[in-house]
Structure 1
Amino acid sequence: MPRRHAPLLIVGDLVCATLGVLLACVLRPHHFDLGSVSLALAVAAPIGWVVLVALNRGYEVRFLGAGSSEFARLFYAFLQCVALMTFGSYAVDPHATRDLTVLALPATLLCSLAYRAVGRTWLHRRRARGQSVIGVVAVGSPEAVAQFADTMRENSAAGMRVVGACVSGAERRATRALRERDIPVIGDLDSVLQAVADSGAQRVAVLSGDTAALSVRRIAWQLEGADAELVVVPGIEDVSGRRLHIQPVAGVPLLHVDEPQFGGVGRAIKSIFDRTAALLGLLILSPVLLLLALLVKLTSEGPALFVQTRVGRDGRTFRMIKFRSMYSGAERQVSELKNRNEAADGLLFKIRNDPRVTPVGRFLRKSSLDELPQLFNVLTGSMSLVGPRPALPSEVAQYGQTVYRRLLVKPGLTGLWQVSGRSDLSWEESVRLDLHYVENWSLALDVSVLVRTARVVFSAAGAY
């Protein structure tokens, strides 16, 4: 099925480009007369768009459905189209190229991005059901193969399932970890090609930390001419692709890992974006905020707002604001309810049916409306729109050196933790997601999290 996904994208991009051209023709009809150069360019534009996307490898299976590369290749094609139109304006009618550049191309890009986003959602749902997945033969030690299989199973959107393992002859018996996961050992390092044929796999994943460079070379030789892709798993987790660069030195491919960026122009732009968005949000949502404040105040005793000390960037404390969702004095009851804590694996205190939550508070939590006053924290600079979960001082006091890295950036009103499970996450999963955000921050990641937050809030998944 993944291979059949590409033709659907080609047809979709053709339709999107055609719609973009039609938009230009409708808005500027006098520039697209019958028999004109403008009309000829307009007719050729959809095919040219598909060709440029294809040249940027936008239809290759490896880039579909996971990561940002799929969308980035559309942007590359868009920029190349703009460049071609700009240079072409000197050779043909400048009015035609201008209309196509200003009207048709942006519309085509937006339409193609939207089409890809819808297609990705559909593909992810299929993959979550075990459909449209790529079979993988994993090469490495049994333990490494088992860990890789678990990672792929937990991230079903990647669309890969380990269907067999190839391990060295000395480890052929050490397969308990694989038996527990129903992964058969179907070969060794010298029989990878036969293992691919027997399992019907379309990809071979070599776990480089467990396989010598010479063995990787032999495996590549075995797969020459076979309909199977070879990938090498470098053993680096939670590092985004933009921080990784491969540079051959003396015939040896070196994987360079850039340092995470915690300052600079990007952070300044993030701060401006955060405060501008927070100000606009407060102005637009002020009637809603006032209504919710009255609702909280009139339905239970106590103030409408709940103010609590949290720890922000570099360990500095600040006063975080929320709508009060619990009865007054709820914090004093924590010791009485400790035996009901459902987050026994970490530092958090979570109860699915917390008796301290008011009826209105339960609605506010389910819809995440109780978080809206934190826009004031974003406006004053103590928080960001996107970032790690704001931590309590009691939690920070128990942090180790690794977890403390969460405090290298401002905490967020939302974050990867919220769009990946919210209260359903374990402490370890929350920390891993927060550290991933800290290490790999980008404006594109912030926008992605904000878009995903809207979807999660509307579904109320993992909120209690």
Structure 2
Amino acid sequence: MVESAAASRTMASHSHDDRSLDDHEDVRQYNEIPEETGTSQEGTSQTKFFNGSYFVRPGSNYAETTPPPFFSYTVPRWRYLFNTTLVLLDLMMTILATVIISLLYPEAYEYTKSLGGAGRGVITMVLLACCSWIISLCSTHCYERHTMGEGYALYNKLVKASFMDFIMLCTINYLFKLDQPRIFNALIPILTLMLTIIERWLARRFLHRHRREGKGFGYPTIIIGSPESIHDTIVQLRNSKSLGYIPIAVCPVKASAGNTPNAPRRLLSVPFTADDGDEAELIALPLDSHLPITAKYLKAQTVLIADVLTRDSETMRALSLAIESMGIELAQTASLADLNAAQLHFRSNPLMPVLTAQLTQYSTITRIFKRLSDIFFSLIAIIISSPIMLVVALLIKHEDGGPVFFRQQRIGVYGKPFTMYKFRSMNVNAEAIKKQLAEEYGIEDRFVFKLKNDPRVTRIGHFIRKTSIDEIPQFFNVLKGDMSLVGPRPPLPEEVARYGTLYSARLLVKPGITGPWQVSGRSNLTQEQSEFVDVSYIQNWSLTGDIAILLKTVVAVVRGTGSY
């Protein structure tokens, strides 16, 4: 298929001696002199993506200047400083964990101190702990681009790094016969993980605060797409500072079908009308083979595809190769329906190229390990919480004389119904007046029926809901196999009946006591946000990710985020 791309527009002559192209007054010259190659009935222009060169624009001064280093990866200065600071802080967390463990276990410390003489045993232990932790963090990509903006994925990587750290310490001690106390090999990674999670959480808050305040710490970005999608993308980037993309230029295009059904799709260059003063400062660029060199001169770090360009198009493939070969990141917005979480493999058969997708984490071994973990930890939780359950049961019975437990039919894995147990936190006639309250508050269409000031909740119910004590009986559901410790929220039958095609994927895993919904805002989330976090969890599920959610659940319970 031959695609036509947006019309090229000749850039005005501009010398790139020692002046920075971050100056809008200079950069705006790129778009001052339009040169149309063909105009459609709508006043748009169309041309092929490749117009003879990737590096020299006819009529410009590029041929007379020294081109930028195409094969170098330009890293923003702030990333060097930020990652260096992270490495130093990570080392400090390891040293601090080592000191704390040594104070808690003085006998093990004295034994280590005696190894090698002159304190060399202690130095060896500290160096080993530091090197092992940094190597583990690097191996799990904790210092890579965008890692600090990923949130849940970041904590998932930290948990993986902790496991790797433990294995590495044990292996090195065994192979080199260092004779370090086993207590250090086991506890130092665990305590280091806890301290590093706190450190990275504070670092993320610092990063996001500075981005909100417009103090940099972002990636200059060129956005390609339809004008409508470009506007929406800019608004989303303003609202979500975790991504870190800072728009500096736009490339507005639209797709136009041919006159016949089998005609190739064409890309047309269209005008871009700014919605506000910030958008008016953006540079408008044409989509052609000179876009990569322009992005390089503009010092762009990312080219973000909002829409129009499809992953299997020739223009997209040529653009991606040119962009990535210059060390610039190519990003593309994706919906939940995309195969973005699967392991993709391209089988380049000349007769029929095939793209295969596989979620490797859903193996029999990981499922067995998850089930065994559910049984073990649910038993521990039931034993530890039994005194609390006894007290709560007496308080519920004493308040209104009604039943202690609330039993309700929920839908489990693959759509199988089961009875879920909770401590009763509402009046005995709560279900009878639910429909009336939904009509009064205008929330009949919401999947999750939650009211901040629900008149049905009892006095003790307010307390056990705020502290999530009402969820403790669900550990019996976990023990039975109806639920898991971590998973999507168990839905009601009427909710499942209204599921769309994509959202029904949440029934492919067991519901959980806690999950992405509980640690992402709970009842404060909109219906769309609830759907997003659930489907994203299924796409990116991992055992270490479940551990990260359990750790975040403790924080969410203490803070009472979204619980009512």
The interval holding the TM-score normalised by the smaller chain is 0.7 to 0.9
The verdict on how the C-alpha distance between 1:257 and 1:128 changes in structure 2, with shifts beyond 3 A counting, is: same
Q: Secondary structure at the match of 2:455?
A: coil
Question: Does structure 2 retain, via aligned residues, the 8 Å contact 1:136–1:202?
Answer: yes
| 2:406 match: secondary structure | strand
Instruction: Show the counterpart of 1:165.
Output: 250
State the 1:331 CA deviation: 0.9
1:419 to partner: Cα distance: 1.0
Shifted more, 179-188 versus 415-424: the winner is 179-188
Partner of 2:115: 31
Which letter maps to 1:390? P
Structure 2: how far apart are the matches of 1:205 and 1:450?
34
Shift of 1:374: 1.1
Structure 1 position 188, deviation (Å): 2.8
Alpha-carbon deviations, 1:12-57, whole Å to 9, x = none? 3433555577757644222131397x67855864775587468746
Describe the shift of the 1:18–1:433 C-alpha distance in structure 2 as closer, same or farther (beyond 3 A).
closer
Does 1:113 find its partner at 2:206? no
8 A Cα contact 2:379 2:479, kept in partner? yes
Matched residue SS, 2:550? helix
Q: What's the counterpart of residue 229 of structure 1?
A: 328
Distance 1:446 1:222, change over 3 A: closer
SS in structure 2 at match of 1:210: coil
Q: Give aligned-pair identity as a percent.
A: 29
Partner of 2:423: 323
What is residue 311 of structure 1 aligned with on the other side?
411
Preserved contact between residue 342 and residue 358 of structure 2 (Cα < 8 Å): yes
Q: 1:441 to 1:62 in 2, by over 3 A?
A: closer
Inter-CA distance 278–162: structure 2 relative to 1 (3 Å threshold): farther
What amino acid does structure 2 have at the position aligned with 1:173? P
8 Å CA contact retained: 2:409, 2:420: yes
> Greater shift after overlay, 296-305 or 25-34?
25-34
Match of 1:204 in 2: 303
Higher helix content, 1 or 2: 1
- Residues 1:230 and 1:365: Cα distance change in structure 2 (over 3 Å): same
- Counterpart of 2:528 in structure 1 is 428
Q: Report the alpha carbon displacement of residue 324 of structure 1 after superposing the two structures with TM.
A: 1.2
Q: Scaled by the length of structure 2, what TM-score is found?
A: 0.68
Cα-Cα RMSD: 3.9
- Tell me if structure 1 keeps the 8 A contact 2:347–2:356: no
Q: Compared with structure 1, are the counterparts of its residues 237 and 173 closer, same or farther at alpha carbon in structure 2 (3 Å cutoff)?
A: same
- 1:384 paired with 2:470, answer no
Asked if the contact 2:224–2:305 (Cα under 8 Å) also holds between the matched residues in 1, the reply is: yes
Counterpart contact for 2:342–2:539, Cα < 8 Å: no
Distance 1:424 1:20, change over 3 A: closer
Is the 8 Å Cα contact of residues 314 and 408 (structure 1) preserved in structure 2?
A: yes
| Structure 1 residue aligned with 2:517 | 417
Alignment partners' CA distance in 2, 1:35 and 1:315 = 62
Matched, 1:335 2:335: no
Size of the alignment, in residue pairs? 450
Shift of 1:423: 0.9
Query: Quick check: 1:220–1:230 contact (8 Å CA) kept in 2?
Result: no
Over 3 Å counting, the alpha-carbon distance change for 1:347 and 1:389 in structure 2 is same
Decide which moves more: 233-242 or 1-10: 233-242
Which residue in the other structure is 1:15 paired with?
A: 92
Pick which of 150-159 and 266-275 moved more. Answer: 150-159
1:186 partnered with 2:271:
no
Q: CA deviation at 1:8?
A: 1.4
- Equivalent residues of 2:224, 2:306 under 8 A apart: yes
How many angstroms does 1:416 deviate by? 0.8
Amino acid in the other structure paired with 2:544: A
Q: Any conservation in 2 of the 1:206–1:216 contact (CA below 8 Å)?
A: no
Offset at 1:255?
6.7
CA contact (8 A) 2:343 2:359 kept: no
Structure number with larger C-alpha Rg: 2
Give the partner amino acid of 1:244: Q
Q: Structure with the greater relative contact order (CA < 8 A, sep ≥ 6): 1 or 2? A: 2
CA deviations 1:272-302 (Å, max 9, x no partner) are: 2112111111110111111111112212241
